[in-house]
Chains A and B, each alone.
Chain A
């Protein structure tokens, strides 16, 4: 079936499996596995919750990095003067939490915009957001891989 000239037909079913190479390959795979494991352990993984879930489990996520998805409550945006942090509420329709954010504001940010905020949550106060990401409204249809990372990091 194969059209290559059989110069030295190798023995066995998997002839290219040179033992030393297998060892080298396994070492690489273990190294990569270790990197992934380390990466999962040491980089902050954020809990992705809704506003309601956050209120319910506020004790267990107190002081942790949390990602919250919700809508910007209409009329809650307080821009402050130039250079002051932005204040607004994020709501899931029932519950809402106050958010303070001083990074740069994404282009699509207005009342009712779907947003994802990431930051440290303290159950007794304002959510201090480190990043504010707007989810694109349904009209926005970036082509695949549009790269529209409409996020901003403070």
Chain B
């Protein structure tokens, strides 16, 4: 298996280098056969990487502990799904997975665009293959997943996967996040092809938008799953800690979000071309930076590995990409001039521009905070770090400004909005925002979160208004019922109304983040069986400790009954797992019980099992509105799928256009 895998990777490397040459020479000398050969090289490289991945997975499934990588991450007694997840549980495997996803998506993109965007194809293929070449060099020379133990030293059983990773959330989170990073290869490939060929018109932007959406969607899901996993496994009561590794995963998502907004301006008005190109390139660079930061220990993070030989390789590659990409953008600036000027400050165009400024500001602040220890060490000789309060204080207002813009932007007209009409349109959303202030203030008695909630209601109000208006026009023109009109609205104009679904998701996320950020309470209790803990109206009765053995190890669990205002609302159990081989690392599994809007969240800190004593030390959190974050995540996925859903055929679109015109007129 190992020979098959490493052999496949070496052949893939050779094929990738051949493909780059074939693509470039084929395009320059105009030899279609060579260009086709380059495209087939991408498919071939992908197939070979798949062979390597399959052989690694087979090695895991058959417990082939001759492989250092397999022995270090799995063991005979682990359930099969975790054994298979161990495939991407380490450095070498995750890079193999990265190259596999990049290959698969690029192959698909080339298959779909091979005919329509013929001019872009050779350089697209060459760019993708250059990315693959870099990864394949790493996978064959620096960090091969197929390294073998000397025959005499082959262990009979593996160490097993780190307990922290043995969780359903961990099954899904890394593959999505890595796939998100890897998928930026496709938009980057298109961007480089457009820059190299000088075809900077509308064709590349059409090709790229969809693929940028794919990356943005996958990465977003990866981030949300990471938050979910942290909340359920890590036991500090939160879902996002502004840890460097979380930050670097957020960065490409922010620039991609900026791009999918500003690309609309380029499509509609032919503006912001240099800017859009830069955002695509930046998203890819930040993805590589994200992959590299975790791997190199560059920034002190809980995730960083001791010292990895990969650091210089990634740093070198990153510099190369930056030099080439920035050089190309600068070289092509004359071809990237805007077709038109922004006519008015009160216009959709400038709304998008402000949106982009805010998203890039978020990305910049996050980047600055993340690399600040390095910067301070360079200039001040001391290593200074900034913590979550810094991000809360700086990013909080920017996020709030984005929510305000979410309420205004969709109501702005292209080119020039009449301020009077805008004010008239804003009436209901503003009223919705204002009307919630007095009751919220009365119940919550804290001005800052109330303002934040009101702004979110305002942003949501605009989305609702847009749906109501669109549905009303459809109903008038077609006689459809309101629910049907809303569904048809989304189906006929998925880009606009699908985008609004994502706006709804963002509002839900905002509610959840505001609620849990400002109104979380936490207390520590030491309890004997039968004793109760009271925290914000909740009474938790500790019922005793459970101690049992499972196949994977020992489990200690504290059982509690949850009551609110004297009414029993359910039971929960908070665990510690002692996995075999990781006995000194008792892994927590939180007990979480959702009651109404709150999560009752219990961490088992300490316990005493000597004699008859079952005394435990528990940390109990009340986390309001966290469930809305997960709900927002589900809505995000629905919105993303709506955006990616193929547009209706031109014939059907034509029948829909009078309605759309009417909607536009009314707006």
Bound Cα distance from A153 to B34, whole angstroms: 60
CB distance from A31 to the nearest CB of B (A): 8
Contact indicator A46/B387 (Cβ below 8 Å): yes
Residue A75 CB within 8 A of the other chain? no
Residue B222 CB within 8 A of the other chain? yes
Which residues of chain B in 321-348 are interfacial with respect to chain A, using CB atoms and an 8 Å cutoff?
Answer: 334-345
List the one stretch of B389-397, B425-433, B492-500, B629-637 in contact with chain A.
Answer: B389-397
Evaluate whether A21 and B342 lie within 8 angstroms (CB atoms) in the complex, with A49-B383, A133-B302, A139-B72 already known.
yes
Residue A134 CB within 8 A of the other chain? yes
Residues on the B chain within 8 Å of A28, using CB: 354, 357-358, 361
Residues on the A chain within 8 Å of B524, using CB: 83, 102
Residues on the B chain within 8 Å of A145, using CB: 173-174, 177, 222-223, 226, 245-246, 248-249, 290, 294
Question: 29 interchain pairs (CB within 8 A)?
Answer: A1-B198, A2-B201, A2-B270, A2-B335, A3-B202, A4-B270, A9-B339, A10-B338, A13-B337, A18-B342, A35-B365, A36-B365, A38-B393, A45-B387, A49-B383, A82-B615, A83-B526, A83-B606, A104-B236, A104-B603, A107-B164, A107-B586, A141-B89, A143-B88, A144-B174, A147-B234, A148-B245, A150-B164, A152-B235
* Total residue contacts A-B, CB cutoff 8 A: 250
Residue A135 CB within 8 A of the other chain? yes
Evaluate whether A10 and B585 lie within 8 angstroms (CB atoms) in the complex, with A141-B305, A150-B302 already known.
no
Residues on the A chain within 8 Å of B181, using CB: 144
Contact indicator A10/B606 (Cβ below 8 Å): no
Specify the chain B residue showing the minimal Cβ separation from A38.
B393
Specify the chain A residue showing the minimal Cβ separation from B174.
A143
Bound Cα distance from A140 to B159, whole angstroms: 11
Contact indicator A151/B291 (Cβ below 8 Å): no
Bound Cα distance from A44 to B350, whole angstroms: 36
Bound Cα distance from A17 to B354, whole angstroms: 13
Contact residue among A1, A44, A104 (Cβ-Cβ distance under 8 Å from B235): A104
Contact indicator A16/B338 (Cβ below 8 Å): yes
Contact residue among A8, A21, A138, A140 (Cβ-Cβ distance under 8 Å from B345): A21
Residue B457 CB within 8 A of the other chain? no
Evaluate whether A144 and B295 lie within 8 angstroms (CB atoms) in the complex, with A1-B200, A25-B357, A135-B302 already known.
yes
Contact residue among B174, B334, B616 (Cβ-Cβ distance under 8 Å from A82): B616
Residues of A within 8 A of B (CB): 1-10, 13, 15-16, 18, 20-21, 24-25, 28-29, 32, 35-36, 38-40, 42-49, 67, 69, 79, 81-83, 102, 104-105, 107-108, 110, 116, 118, 133-136, 138-153
Contact indicator B236/A153 (Cβ below 8 Å): yes
Specify the chain A residue showing the minimal Cβ separation from B236.
A152
Contact indicator B385/A82 (Cβ below 8 Å): no
Residues on the B chain within 8 Å of A8, using CB: 340-341
Residues on the B chain within 8 Å of A16, using CB: 271-272, 338, 340-342
Residues of B within 8 A of A (CB): 72, 88-91, 94, 159, 162-165, 170, 173-174, 177-178, 181, 198, 200-203, 222-223, 226-227, 229-230, 234-236, 241, 243, 245-246, 248-249, 270-273, 290-291, 293-295, 300, 302-306, 334-345, 350, 353-354, 357-358, 361, 364-365, 368, 373, 382-387, 389-390, 393-394, 397-398, 524, 526, 584-588, 603, 605-608, 615-617, 619
Contact residue among B245, B350, B587, B617 (Cβ-Cβ distance under 8 Å from A107): B587
Among B163, B170, B243, B358, chain A packs the most CB atoms within 10 A around the CB of: B243
Evaluate whether A43 and B159 lie within 8 angstroms (CB atoms) in the complex, with A15-B340, A32-B365, A136-B303 already known.
no
CB distance from A68 to the nearest CB of B (A): 11
Contact indicator B608/A82 (Cβ below 8 Å): yes
Bound Cα distance from A47 to B387, whole angstroms: 11
Evaluate whether A40 and B390 lie within 8 angstroms (CB atoms) in the complex, with A142-B294, A143-B174, A144-B291 already known.
yes
Bound Cα distance from A138 to B305, whole angstroms: 6
Bound Cα distance from A42 to B88, whole angstroms: 41
